[in-house]
């Protein structure tokens, strides 16, 4: 149920029960515990209650836990034919994950757009200038309470991808530029041939 919510959507208890293959009563019990631990938030609209991840930190934690499970060969259900697409590019809460997400992180590090500082990463002046040249405005970034840059361990590639406000802006830029779209009811981010080429030219090469 938690992994399903990692694309930022809000779902009802019955929808999450169907995803988990459990009864509505069992799902409600689990959701109540997750709410108590502040891992989820809930919004009531009419007769329905919609559940979503509490914040990006919870999504980051889930990605790291899946990475640990992969490294330790923990048995888990197969994701089916869509797995290669999920490994290539997917939504992790509100930022890009998968092979293309890791490629962005690596490229930004190599270009000096990101800098390591006291076990954290920060956007350099060169990075700010480069992003603005690509059409990504950072004018309102300072108003957010979230960190500008954050590394998130990618469970499929087992290396870091870019999270935080900057990771969100990169993904939004891909959608606004019509390079990619998110598949319905899926975490998969599907790039067109032209879009992936433009994405790589902008953020990776």
Q: Do 121 and 139 belong to one domain?
A: yes
Q: What is the pLDDT of residue 16?
A: 92
- Do 75 and 30 have their domain in common? no
CA end-to-end span of the chain: 36
For 115, what's the count of Cα atoms within 13 Å in the CB-facing half-sphere?
10
Residues 105 and 137 reside in one and the same domain? yes
Cβ neighbours for 70, distance < 8 A, ≥ 6 positions apart: 155, 156, 158
* CATH number, residue 16: 1.10.10.10
Reported as type and span, the H/E element at residue 90 is: strand 90-92
For residue 186, the model assigns a pLDDT of 84
DSSP 144-171: -SS-S-EEEE-TTT-SEEEEHHHHHHHH
- What pLDDT sits at residue 142? 63
Contact 35, 61 (CB under 8 A): no
Pair (50, 72) in one structural domain: no
Quote the pLDDT of residue 66: 75
Q: Do 41 and 59 form a contact (C-beta atoms < 8 A)?
A: no
Structure tokens, 48: 């329905």
Residue ranges making up the domain that contains 168: 57-203
Same domain, 83 and 133: yes
Domain boundary among 18, 38, 54: 54
Q: What is the pLDDT of residues 52-111, one digit of tens each?
A: 999 888 888 887 787 676 666 655 554 443 578 989 999 988 999 999 999 999 999 999
Task: Count how many domains the chain has.
Answer: 2
> Does residue 108 sit in the same domain as residue 23?
no
Task: Compute the half-sphere exposure of residue 114: CA atoms within 13 Å on the CB side of its CA.
Answer: 23
Query: Which pLDDT does position 80 carry in this prediction?
Result: 42
pLDDT of residue 60: 80
Shared domain check, 157 and 85: yes
Query: Can you list the alpha helix ranges (DSSP code H) found in 37-150?
Result: 56-71, 83-88, 99-111, 125-133
Does one domain contain both 164 and 131?
yes
């Amino acid at each position: 149920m938690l992994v399903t919510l990692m694309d930022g959507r809000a779902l009802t208890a019955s929808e999450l029960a169907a995803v988990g293959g459990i009864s509505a009563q069992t799902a409600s019990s689990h959701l109540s515990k997750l709410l108590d631990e502040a891992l989820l938030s809930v919004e009531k609209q009419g007769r329905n209650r919609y559940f979503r991840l509490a914040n990006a930190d919870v999504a980051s934690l889930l990605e790291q836990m899946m990475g640990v499970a992969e490294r330790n060969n923990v048995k888990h259900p197969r994701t089916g034919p869509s797995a290669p697409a999920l490994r290539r590019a997917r939504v992790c809460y509100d930022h890009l994950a998968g092979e293309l997400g890791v490629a962005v992180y690596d490229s930004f590090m190599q270009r000096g757009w990101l800098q390591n500082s006291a076990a954290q990463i920060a956007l350099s002046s060169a990075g700010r200038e480069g992003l603005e040249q690509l059409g990504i405005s950072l004018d309102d970034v300072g108003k957010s309470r979230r960190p500008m840059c954050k590394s998130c361990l990618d469970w499929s590639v087992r290396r870091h991808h870019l999270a935080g406000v900057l990771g969100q802006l990169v993904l939004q830029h891909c959608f606004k530029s019509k390079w990619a779209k998110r598949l319905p009811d899926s975490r998969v981010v599907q790039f067109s041939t032209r879009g992936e080429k433009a994405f790589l030219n902008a953020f990776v090469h």
